[in-house]
Structure 1
Amino acid sequence: MKLFMVKSLVLAGFMFAAALIGMQAANTGIDRMKGYEDPDFKQAVSIQKENGETQVAIMGGEVSETIEEKKAQLEKTEGYNLFSSLGKGLGTILSGLAKAVVEAFTD
């Protein structure tokens, strides 16, 4: 199971990187096809280093928050997800049911 998850995550990461590279290649191709630089035409992915700090922009949007800041923001909102709660409840019920069936057949 662990090997499957690792393979799946590596494949998902590879596909994400391939999509970003493809968007950048399409952007470059459009620039070459037009024959001139358009200042309003943004790059798909841009990475700039200034004063030892790295700035990343994806599709023109700045990526400035760190993982810790995002985690703190999510914990602060304390959102309630109905589907998550229903899924947890259904999982608990099905797990208990499966355990009861297995115990009934093993006794």
Structure 2
Amino acid sequence: MGSFIGKTIILGLVLLFGVFLGMQQANNGMLQMKGYHDPQLKGAFSIQMNEEEEREASILGTAVTEKDLAEKQKQLEEIESFNAFSKAGKALSDGMTHAARSLYDWVNGK
């Protein structure tokens, strides 16, 4: 049994090492495919402070500010969409709470 567990752990470590090696090779291949080093291509997401001391994020090249996020949050709060699963879940949980409370009161009454 111990031999099997040892072999399994060693096999798992070898496979994990292979995954890490493959990820490194894929990264090197992507850099070689690009063909040059471009400092503008930092990543998919970056955050900086602008002149008015506000945070400004860049997501896939699209600038997003705190004001944009606040406006979107207001817009989402104004849209009161109906979610049937949410309503059904709330009704089910309220029913279960009421049933459990009634059972508890009935047991305590006896």
What TM-score comes out, normalization by structure 1 length? 0.55
* Counterpart in the other structure of 1:97: 99
Aligned residues with identical type, % of pairs: 33
Q: Which runs of 5+ in 1 are unaligned?
A: 1-25
Structure 2 unaligned spans of 5+: 1-23
Q: Give me the CA root mean square deviation.
A: 3.2
Q: 1:49 corresponds to which residue?
A: 49
Q: Deviations over 1:54-105 (max 9, x none)?
A: 3102344433323x42331112212111111011100110001001110111
Structure number with bigger Rg: 2
Task: Give 3-state SS (helix, strand or coil) of 1:37's partner.
Answer: coil
* Structure 1 residues 71 and 47: alpha-carbon distance in aligned structure 2, compared to 1, 3 A threshold: closer
Whose RCO is larger (CA < 8 A, sep 6+)? 1
Give the Cα separation in 1 of the matches to 2:97 and 2:62: 43
- How many correspondences in the alignment? 79
Runs of 4+ in 1 over 6 A off after TM superposition: none
